[in-house]
């Protein structure tokens, strides 16, 4: 049996937390041979609800669950953390864009970036789920100057999975049959879900669909899926978000499959002309725990326009929180 790793989760008593923790403890995230210690963070008024969640975790008698701690102090929850899933933040309601949450949520991520800087493992892998995820990840990263900037990522895996599902429906195949889907940019309505390189059972996806479907159906459906779920459910996505967080971390830890890639919001290194430093979603492969941007893809004029729109939005979000970016 491997030695346990420490997995910190913030917002652990929230709706995503309730779907996420049980799957992490069951081994879905890091494998069925990897014991985990859960280090759960909540705000003080939610600690009682969190106590109930912990009781349920105990009652599952998970073979891989090696311990649970709870705290309302980030410095305790992040101590020696190998993985940190930053979920705790306000969700949006109907009629809001995710960036409307920036004011309410940004302060959380500067404080948590500082705490990670002070106490987490030097190789901590941080996934920001709380919205607006890309800019919150940037805030956390910039407040953690002693950690490698590449430790900080934002979740666009939910968008990636949504894009797979939409294309699978259209092509009449299973999402397993699709490779090389890409989400570029921000986890927002400007994101660009791109099928130009996608393969369906080894054949070009772009050849299977017409441009009208792409422009009028696929791209807006993926961009607006979060809002559609809020409208239908009255609350934002939770189980699918938790599942995507599991997928993101599992891929980061265990790697992408040969012949495929995934999408992650990561610090831009200037690839594809995207301004360095922005937390921008790129196609990435992962090997030995390291992600690399897929290089050399041809970018059409159609794609470039959309990649620039979402880059521009990220610059505006960043400029709006400059007071939190040391």
Ligand X SMILES: O=C(O)C[C@H](O)C(=O)O
State the minimum distance, in angstroms, from the CB of residue 208 to ligand NAD: 27
Q: Does 306 bind ligand X (CB under 6 A)?
A: no
CB nearer to ligand NAD: pick between 23 and 90? 90
- Residues 169-188 touching ligand NAD, rule: CB under 6 A, are 187
244 CB burial (10 A radius; 0-12, 13-18, 19+): buried
Residues 6 or more apart whose CB falls under 8 angstroms from that of 285 comprise: 255, 256, 261, 262, 291, 292, 294
Judged by CB under 6 A, the stretch of 26-34, 119-127, 170-178, 221-229 that binds ligand X is 221-229
Residue 42 site contact among ligand X, ligand NAD, none (CB < 5 to 8 Å, cut-off depends on kind): ligand NAD
Residue 130 site contact among ligand X, ligand NAD, none (CB < 5 to 8 Å, cut-off depends on kind): ligand NAD
Q: Does 131 bind ligand X (CB under 6 A)?
A: yes
Query: Is 105 assigned a ligand-binding role in the annotation?
Result: yes
**Exactly one of 29, 81, 89, 181 binds ligand NAD (CB under 6 A); which one?**
89
CB nearer to ligand NAD: pick between 68 and 209? 68
Q: Which residues pair with 39 in a beta bridge?
A: 8, 69
8 Å CB contact between 276 and 268: yes
Judged by CB under 6 A, the stretch of 27-35, 82-90, 192-200, 209-217 that binds ligand NAD is 82-90
Query: Is 39 assigned a ligand-binding role in the annotation?
Result: no
Query: Is 11 assigned a ligand-binding role in the annotation?
Result: yes
Query: Is 51 assigned a ligand-binding role in the annotation?
Result: no
Q: Are strands 182-184 and 125-128 parallel, antiparallel or unpaired?
A: unpaired
Residue 10 site contact among ligand NAD, ligand X, none (CB < 5 to 8 Å, cut-off depends on kind): ligand NAD
Report the binding-site residues for substrate: 92, 98, 131, 162
Residues in the site for ligand NAD, rule: CB under 6 A? 10-11, 13-17, 41-43, 46, 87-92, 108, 129-131, 133, 155, 158, 187, 236-238, 241
């Amino acid at each position: 049996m491997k030695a346990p790793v420490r997995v910190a989760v913030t917002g652990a008593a929230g709706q995503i937390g309730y779907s996420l923790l049980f799957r992490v403890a069951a081994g879905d995230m890091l494998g069925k041979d990897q014991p985990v210690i859960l280090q759960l963070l909540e705000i003080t008024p939610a600690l009682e609800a969190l106590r109930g969640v912990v009781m349920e975790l105990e009652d599952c008698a998970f073979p891989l669950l090696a311990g649970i701690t709870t705290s309302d102090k980030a410095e305790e929850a992040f101590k020696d953390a190998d993985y940190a899933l930053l979920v705790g933040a306000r969700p949006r309601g109907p009629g809001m864009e995710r960036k409307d949450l920036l004011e309410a949520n940004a302060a959380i991520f500067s404080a948590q970036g500082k705490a990670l800087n002070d106490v987490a493992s030097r190789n901590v892998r941080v996934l920001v789920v709380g919205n607006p995820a890309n800019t919150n990840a940037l805030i956390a990263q910039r407040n953690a100057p002693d950690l490698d900037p590449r430790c900080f990522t934002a979740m666009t895996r939910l968008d990636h999975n949504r894009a797979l599902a939409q294309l699978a429906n259209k092509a009449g195949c299973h999402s397993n049959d699709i490779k090389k889907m890409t989400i570029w940019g921000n986890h927002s309505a400007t994101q660009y879900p791109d099928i130009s390189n996608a393969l369906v059972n080894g054949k070009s996806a772009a050849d299977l669909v017409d441009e009208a479907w792409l422009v009028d159906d696929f791209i807006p459906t993926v961009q607006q899926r979060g809002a559609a779920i809020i409208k239908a459910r009255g609350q934002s996505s939770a189980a699918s978000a938790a599942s995507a967080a599991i997928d993101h971390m599992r891929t980061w830890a265990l790697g992408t499959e040969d012949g495929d890639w995934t999408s992650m919001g990561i610090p831009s290194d200037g690839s594809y002309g995207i301004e360095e430093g922005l937390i921008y979603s790129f196609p990435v492969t992962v090997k030995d725990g390291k992600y690399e941007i897929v290089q050399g893809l041809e970018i059409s004029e159609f794609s470039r326009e959309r990649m620039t729109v979402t880059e521009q939005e990220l610059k505006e979000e960043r400029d709006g929180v400059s007071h939190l970016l040391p």
